[in-house]
């Protein structure tokens, strides 16, 4: 059975953090660079001047990962689309059915989905030759986003208007295709990349965070037995990469191609998309076929394949 689940980032992080012993996480430890690697481990330099010598480093630091840069990965490629995202707040309860709502325009598309009894997530993707000037002024971002969907369905506009200014962000959409033979390996010594740091993908299939979670499960399954046995972790990290590459590379490519299709601005192509392709050819089952993926259970004690 296929269904879409939406979860607030804060709730996901709090749930995961609650499974760790108190004090296990050192917050606000921003990595500046990888200072070196030797037989004792990898030396990390933090922005506050501290240095950490680590046996294993999981580079899950997102699209602008300093660890990926150190490993020789190219900068993610801007694909020509920007996104606004927001989280509407309905203190008295939100009024929507539990389903994803999509609205397509010319070179602009939007959607919204309830994530909890009081919160509704929305997004707008739009074409833009360059990412433009970076701003964190939430009120200005919200005005800009509302301008893009002027005259669009009332529900969407109402959701956007119910969003606190500081809950609106604007993001350039980027990806990086892990071409075999061209992309560097996902690990070097005891350092390994996970999630967007390794395989940034455009959000057109809604799979970036899902893949990051799958990575974490598969990595834990390979890494935990090696760490517990005191073995060299390099081999476990390579097995993680070879298991995950076949999943993340095709998805990154497919997400990029779907993005090119749904972001078309040409009016004739948009008419065909809205009149024929989406209503007649897109069925939820095949459209969500990429979500039929089983990454296995997370059991650190289980032997890895």
Ligand X SMILES: Cc1cc2nc3c(=O)[nH]c(=O)nc-3n(C[C@H](O)[C@H](O)[C@H](O)COP(=O)(O)OP(=O)(O)OC[C@H]3O[C@@H](n4cnc5c(N)ncnc54)[C@H](O)[C@@H]3O)c2cc1C
Q: List interacting residues with ligand X (CB under 6 A).
A: 30-31, 60-62, 66, 83, 85, 123, 171, 195-197, 203, 206-210, 212
Written as six digits, the tokens of 8 are 């607030």
If the CB atoms of residues 94 and 252 are measured against ligand X, the closer one turns out to be: 252
E strand or H helix at 43: strand 41-46
Residue 85 or 273: the one with the smaller Cβ distance to ligand X is 85
C-alpha 206/C-alpha 85 separation (Å) is 13
Is the Cβ of residue 47 or residue 118 nearer to ligand X in the bound state?
A: 47
CB of 80 to ligand X, least distance (A): 14
**Complex with ligand X: residue 13 or 302, whichever CB lies closer:** 13
Least spacing, CB of residue 149 vs ligand X, in Å:
15
CB of 92 to ligand X, least distance (A): 26
Q: Which H or E run contains 88? A: strand 77-89
Q: How far is the CB of 63 from ligand X (least distance, A)?
A: 6
Q: Which two tokens stand for residue 17?
A: 């953090």
Nearest alpha-carbon partner for 177 in 292, 82, 73: 73
Dihedral (CA of 172, 273, 161, 113) sign: negative
Helix ranges (H only) for the chain are 9-17, 66-70, 138-148, 154-161, 208-229, 233-262, 267-272, 284-287
Q: Which residue has the tokens 């939406």?
A: 6
HSE (CB half, 13 Å, CA atoms) of 192?
Answer: 25
In whole angstroms, the minimum distance from the beta carbon of 166 to ligand X comes to: 16
Tell me whether residue 80 or residue 225 sits nearer to ligand X (CB atom): 80
Closer CB to ligand X, 114 or 208, in the complex: 208
Q: Report the nearest approach of ligand X to the CB of residue 287 (Å).
A: 14
């Amino acid at each position: 059975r296929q269904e879409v689940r939406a979860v607030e980032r804060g709730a996901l992080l709090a749930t995961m953090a609650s499974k760790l012993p108190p004090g296990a996480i050192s917050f606000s430890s921003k990595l500046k660079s990888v200072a070196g690697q030797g037989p004792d481990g990898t030396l990390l330099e933090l922005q506050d001047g501290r240095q950490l010598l680590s046996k294993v480093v999981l580079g899950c630091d997102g699209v602008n990962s300093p660890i990926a840069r150190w490993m020789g990965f190219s900068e993610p490629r801007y694909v020509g689309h920007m996104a606004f995202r927001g989280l509407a707040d309905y203190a008295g309860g939100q009024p929507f059915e539990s389903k994803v709502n999509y609205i397509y325009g010319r070179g602009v598309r939007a959607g919204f989905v309830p994530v909890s009894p009081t919160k509704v997530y929305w997004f707008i993707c739009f074409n833009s030759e360059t990412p433009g000037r970076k701003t964190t002024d939430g009120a200005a971002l919200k005005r800009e986003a509302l301008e893009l969907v002027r005259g669009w369905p009332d529900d969407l506009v109402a959701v956007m208007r119910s969003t606190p200014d500081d809950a609106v962000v604007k993001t350039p959409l980027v990806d990086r295709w892990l071409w075999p033979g061209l992309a560097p390996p996902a690990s070097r010594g005891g350092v390994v990349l996970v999630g967007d740091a390794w395989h940034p993908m455009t959000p057109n299939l809604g799979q970036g965070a899902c893949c990051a979670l799958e990575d974490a499960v598969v990595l834990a399954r390979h890494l935990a037995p090696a760490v517990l046995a005191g073995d060299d972790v390099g081999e476990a990290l390579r097995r993680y990469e070879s298991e995950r590459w076949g999943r993340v590379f095709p998805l990154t490519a497919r997400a990029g191609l779907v993005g090119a299709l749904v972001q078309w601005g040409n009016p004739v192509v948009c008419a065909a998309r809205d009149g024929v392709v989406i209503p007649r050819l897109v069925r939820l089952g095949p459209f969500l076929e990429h979500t039929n993926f089983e990454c296995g259970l997370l059991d650190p004690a289980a032997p890895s394949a």
